Copies of this chain bind each other. A is one copy, B any other.
């Protein structure tokens, strides 16, 4: 069982995918954890943490596969995204679930075949791989499912890198 996560402070997409020994894959659930833009950051992080914790408790995934995203590429948005990631990774660590991290390009390459795929292509191929009737929606949910598929396809051992060590 895999839990794929596309992290964000406002919207965190997720997908739960079961993989049997013959590598048949079934989508069990996908969706988004939304937080209120009017809530304090602390409350938003708590909501994200609780949402992911509830998914782990319900589905007992072996691995949480998380996209290592750099939206915007500016320091402020990276700090914000890092906070959401911290809350998510913590939920896994507290429950003994291993964490695997994939760059957005790795996920696109694994799911679509090219690292430069569009969001629409990712959603379409997620649908094909899992034999869904429609594309997963919203697109954040599809990105969460794609993170799970990437781990299923590449079968990589968890390689969550240590971050740059920050010594004041």
Interface positions of A (Cβ within 8 A of B): 6, 8-11, 13, 37, 39-46, 49, 69-87, 89-90, 92-94, 98-99, 119, 139-140, 143, 158, 160-168
Say yes or no: A9-B163 contact (C-beta < 8 A), given A82-B82, A92-B42: yes
**Residues of B contacting A166 with CB < 8 Å?**
8-10, 71-72, 77, 80-81, 84
Which B residue sits closest to A104, measured CB to CB? B168
**Residues of B contacting A11 with CB < 8 Å?**
167-168
Question: A74 vs B93: C-alpha distance in the bound complex, in angstroms?
Answer: 26
**Residues of B contacting A83 with CB < 8 Å?**
82-83, 85-86, 89, 163
Copies of this chain, complex-wide, total 2
Which B residue sits closest to A50, measured CB to CB? B94
Query: Of B85, B87, B94, B164, which one neighbours A77 at CB under 8 angstroms?
Result: B164
Which B residue sits closest to A42, measured CB to CB? B93
Q: Are B79 and A40 in contact (CB under 8 A)?
A: no
Question: A78 vs B23: C-alpha distance in the bound complex, in angstroms?
Answer: 37
Q: Are A162 and B40 in contact (CB under 8 A)?
A: yes
Say yes or no: A41-B163 contact (C-beta < 8 A), given A46-B90, A81-B79, A168-B8: yes
**Residues of B contacting A94 with CB < 8 Å?**
46, 49
Can you identify 22 A-B contacts, CB atoms within 8 angstroms?
A: A11-B167, A40-B160, A41-B89, A41-B162, A41-B163, A42-B90, A42-B92, A42-B93, A46-B94, A49-B94, A70-B75, A74-B75, A75-B75, A76-B163, A77-B163, A78-B78, A78-B79, A78-B82, A79-B82, A83-B89, A86-B86, A140-B168
